[in-house]
Chain A
Amino acid sequence: MSTTTDQEESGQPGTRRDSSSLRVTWLVARRELRLRAKTRVFVITTAIMVIAVALAVALPAILSGKSKQERIGVVGGVTPTVSAIVTEAGRLSGGRAVVVAEPSLAAAKTALRSGDLSAVLVPNSEIFVKQVPLGGVSGTVGTLAQLAGLSRLIETVPGAATAVAHGVSLPVSGLQAPSASLSSRLTGLFTVIIGFILITVYGSQIALGIGEEKSSRVVEVLLSSVRPVQLLIGKVLGIGLLALAQAVAMVVVFVVAGFATGSSLVHGATLGAVLAGGGFVVLGYAFYCTAYAAAGSLVSRQSDVNSTVLPVQLPLIVAYALSFTVIYANGANTFYHVLGFLPPTSPIAMPVLYAAGDVPAWQVVVSAVVCAAGTVWMARLAAKIYANSILRTGPRISFRQAIRESRNA
């Protein structure tokens, strides 16, 4: 190089060194991508997660297809009234019931024992099941018992059979929209489990990777030509792209497997829950990746990473643990609603609330915007902590110390 005056070296043709900031950041990201994507761990975990999603979608659809129809044995001749009662009982309990004429009570009981029949009805007399469950019968058999009893009561009234055939219950309307179906809730839970795993696993990889750079001292060579913020962004970008690739693969498998098996999961609100969950996984990663990086920069030995990562993970773990109560309870409490809008917990809490039908879509959008704003704030703080701590050797630095110093810097 003969020029001694111009150090800027912008990319004019013939310049040997191209030193644009984006290029350096991308080089750092590319190293992470290439090094990690070819490891056996990555390939195997991707395969396991994709298979798990496929099974979770396909199995319920396949299993429910088998048990859709309940067979009710009828002893002593099938009249239109009896047939109507059985069909109605099936319809009212959300399934389908068919009448199977049985020649005798003994034959019917044999079929019941073998599992060929769900129940045996002796009109105007009795209903047999294989075993009465704790808390009494419910579902089709419970409804059948009520309808058959009602039918016996109004037997003497002329035209009752016709009335029964038209249905005996009055329609019930709610003032609010129906609560989310179980399939939507379970999908929400499933999405949150995947999101939690992706954020914590890849977050820990960031912290460990930075701990490695610091403890192996390679960081000093790196920082002699790369700015700390470039190194930080490149790292979370590279690892984040891997996480995103896994997440996208899982969503694609979810949709494809869902449509292929005719699963009810891909209809309506459930698909929305998956998309909301996917969006919040990205937001959650964006929020947490820099925090994990800051945690990694505080240690001198890689083995110390676990202890600095814990405070970062705590909000995630709380939201995750509480999400189970929301999925199984009828409606989330106020506390969990609040978690749904706080950036550290919303990536887990908001998809759960949405899947459980506790919040309208516009609140999901509001929460996402708040989380994005929180991400910017977190990235600034974490970048300062990182830049301050990455070259400091000696004992582990506490978060309080790091935050105090980053304010002064």
Chain B
Amino acid sequence: MASLELEVDGLRRTYGTVTALDGLTFGVPAGQVFGFLGPNGAGKTTAMRAIFGVTALEVGEIRWRGRPVEEAARRTFGYMPEERGLYPAMELADQVEYFARLHGMNGPAAARAAKHWIDRLGLSGREKTRVDALSHGNQQRAQLAVALVHDPELLVLDEPFSGLDPGGIDDLSSILAERAAAGVTVLFSSHQLDLVEDICEAVAIIHHGRLVVSGPVAELRRGDRPRLAVRVTGDRAAAWTVSLGSATGTVDAVRPDGTAEISVTSAAESQVILDLARAAGPVEHFAYEDRRLSEVFRQATGASVGQAEAEHAAAASAAALKTGAGR
């Protein structure tokens, strides 16, 4: 693994009775697209805002290239907040250029960069359009242009894929991959774990403001024990697996079509399992499979992403009722 460029170390932050961050720690290597995942309400946005100093921390430190993040470093970062926001009455090109200059670019360089990203994001011809006159999708692109225009060394995007259609997801993921290939550290958040598992190389998954697991996606999906998916013709309940000894493997789940998901203790045991299945009937399907990230989450926390989100929503509305701040 490459050396860590961004280090998030022991962040703690509470809002009244709600703990948003509870000792969150993880690191992001350079030149990778890094996913920061977890259910809604897990603390992702608070952590990302902390990187930019727009939320105060009670405890903890964020380091960039080994040094605590300060103003000068932040000017080399690009940020797309969860709540998108641009000046509604400002023209697109003026706006993108303005943010480039705020990040330290001089006039001509800012104009060139703004033009480059407006073209790259398919907004050519809209340079003189007011931002509030752009379509929702184009406003999203404009927001991305603002985050990218000053050629940041760290790119932090909060839920960049939410609200995008499949084409938009492909466009954005190719831009992120391209930036990462250029050496940029790319950190983005998402609550849709399975949607983004193919987009990022490594992830940190968090829950209740704490790290659940972190590492390369391929390793996490494979897990400690490889998974076999086996289906025997006609056996919808996967009854053949009763004869499976725990020394060989354990059944994690049975799918509606009768496919058994088996965690295998070692690669050698796979042939034992194949023999067992063939003894029960014709084997339709026999393959190693990667777990989904949502399953990695469930195995680590004991709750599904959906359950975790429902629990958070209930807690949030209870807290809102208590303080009377129901907006």
Residues of A within 8 A of B (CB): 1, 4-5, 7-9, 16-19, 24, 27-28, 31, 35, 212-213, 216-227, 391, 393-395
| A225 and B105 alpha carbons, distance in the complex (Å) | 13
A29 to chain B, nearest CB (A): 12
B266 CB within 8 Å of chain A:
no
**Of the candidates A27, A223, A227, which one forms a contact with B98 in the assembled complex, judged by CB atoms under 8 Å apart?**
A27
| A91 and B55 alpha carbons, distance in the complex (Å) | 77
Q: Let me know if A1 and B76 touch, CB within 8 A.
A: yes
A227: chain B residues within 8 A (beta carbon)? 71
| A7 and B65 alpha carbons, distance in the complex (Å) | 10
Find the A residue at minimum CB distance from B52.
A224
Q: Let me know if B104 and A217 touch, CB within 8 A.
A: no
Find the A residue at minimum CB distance from B323.
A394
**Of the candidates A4, A18, A216, A224, which one forms a contact with B79 in the assembled complex, judged by CB atoms under 8 Å apart?**
A224
Q: Let me know if B327 and A17 touch, CB within 8 A.
A: no
B320 to chain A, nearest CB (A): 10
| A219 and B83 alpha carbons, distance in the complex (Å) | 10
A2 to chain B, nearest CB (A): 10
| A226 and B325 alpha carbons, distance in the complex (Å) | 30
B288 CB within 8 Å of chain A:
no
Q: Let me know if B101 and A27 touch, CB within 8 A.
A: yes
**Of the candidates A9, A27, A217, A220, which one forms a contact with B102 in the assembled complex, judged by CB atoms under 8 Å apart?**
A27
B72 CB within 8 Å of chain A:
yes
Q: Let me know if B72 and A224 touch, CB within 8 A.
A: no
Q: Let me know if A226 and B102 touch, CB within 8 A.
A: yes
B85 CB within 8 Å of chain A:
yes
A24 to chain B, nearest CB (A): 6
B244 to chain A, nearest CB (A): 53
Q: Let me know if B104 and A19 touch, CB within 8 A.
A: yes
| A178 and B267 alpha carbons, distance in the complex (Å) | 110
Q: Let me know if A217 and B103 touch, CB within 8 A.
A: no
B67 CB within 8 Å of chain A:
yes
A24: chain B residues within 8 A (beta carbon)? 102
Q: Let me know if A225 and B87 touch, CB within 8 A.
A: no
A391 to chain B, nearest CB (A): 6
CB-defined A-B contacts under 8 Å, sample of 5: A7-B64, A217-B81, A220-B49, A223-B52, A225-B79
Q: Let me know if A17 and B67 touch, CB within 8 A.
A: no
Residues of B within 8 A of A (CB): 49, 52-55, 64-65, 67, 70-77, 79-81, 83-90, 98-99, 101-106, 109, 146-147, 153, 325, 327
A16: chain B residues within 8 A (beta carbon)? 104-105, 109
**Of the candidates B76, B80, B87, B98, which one forms a contact with A17 in the assembled complex, judged by CB atoms under 8 Å apart?**
B76
| A216 and B72 alpha carbons, distance in the complex (Å) | 26
B70: chain A residues within 8 A (beta carbon)? 7
Given contacts A17-B75, A24-B102, A394-B325, 20 further A-B contacts (CB under 8 A): A7-B70, A16-B105, A16-B109, A19-B71, A19-B72, A28-B102, A35-B89, A217-B84, A219-B85, A220-B79, A220-B81, A221-B85, A221-B147, A224-B52, A224-B77, A225-B74, A226-B102, A227-B71, A391-B55, A395-B325
| A227 and B53 alpha carbons, distance in the complex (Å) | 10
| A4 and B65 alpha carbons, distance in the complex (Å) | 7
| A31 and B80 alpha carbons, distance in the complex (Å) | 21
| A27 and B101 alpha carbons, distance in the complex (Å) | 8
Q: Let me know if B325 and A17 touch, CB within 8 A.
A: no
A219: chain B residues within 8 A (beta carbon)? 85
Known: A9-B72, A217-B85, A391-B55. A18 touches B104 (CB 8 A): yes
Known: A31-B98, A394-B327. A17 touches B90 (CB 8 A): no
B88: chain A residues within 8 A (beta carbon)? 212, 216
B52: chain A residues within 8 A (beta carbon)? 220, 223-224
B239 to chain A, nearest CB (A): 55
In this complex, the member of A7, A223, A395 whose beta carbon has the largest number of chain B beta carbons within 10 angstroms is A7
B89 to chain A, nearest CB (A): 8
Find the B residue at minimum CB distance from A214.
B85
Q: Let me know if B85 and A8 touch, CB within 8 A.
A: no
B286 to chain A, nearest CB (A): 50
| A212 and B90 alpha carbons, distance in the complex (Å) | 12
B75: chain A residues within 8 A (beta carbon)? 17, 19, 225
| A223 and B53 alpha carbons, distance in the complex (Å) | 8
| A226 and B87 alpha carbons, distance in the complex (Å) | 16
B79: chain A residues within 8 A (beta carbon)? 220-221, 224-225
Find the B residue at minimum CB distance from A226.
B102
A212: chain B residues within 8 A (beta carbon)? 87-88
| A8 and B81 alpha carbons, distance in the complex (Å) | 25
| A17 and B79 alpha carbons, distance in the complex (Å) | 17
Q: Let me know if A223 and B54 touch, CB within 8 A.
A: yes
In this complex, the member of A4, A18, A225, A393 whose beta carbon has the largest number of chain B beta carbons within 10 angstroms is A225
Q: Let me know if B72 and A225 touch, CB within 8 A.
A: no
| A325 and B72 alpha carbons, distance in the complex (Å) | 56
In this complex, the member of B67, B104, B109 whose beta carbon has the largest number of chain A beta carbons within 10 angstroms is B104
| A1 and B72 alpha carbons, distance in the complex (Å) | 14
| A19 and B52 alpha carbons, distance in the complex (Å) | 16
In this complex, the member of B64, B71, B101 whose beta carbon has the largest number of chain A beta carbons within 10 angstroms is B71
**Of the candidates B72, B105, B109, which one forms a contact with A8 in the assembled complex, judged by CB atoms under 8 Å apart?**
B72
B86: chain A residues within 8 A (beta carbon)? 216, 218, 221
**Of the candidates B64, B104, B327, which one forms a contact with A395 in the assembled complex, judged by CB atoms under 8 Å apart?**
B327
| A80 and B88 alpha carbons, distance in the complex (Å) | 81
B146: chain A residues within 8 A (beta carbon)? 221
**Of the candidates B80, B87, B89, B106, which one forms a contact with A18 in the assembled complex, judged by CB atoms under 8 Å apart?**
B106
A352 to chain B, nearest CB (A): 38
Known: A27-B98, A225-B74, A225-B75. A17 touches B103 (CB 8 A): yes
In this complex, the member of B73, B99, B146 whose beta carbon has the largest number of chain A beta carbons within 10 angstroms is B99
| A226 and B79 alpha carbons, distance in the complex (Å) | 13
Give 6 nearest A-B pairs by CB, closest first.
A217-B85, A17-B104, A218-B85, A224-B52, A224-B79, A217-B83
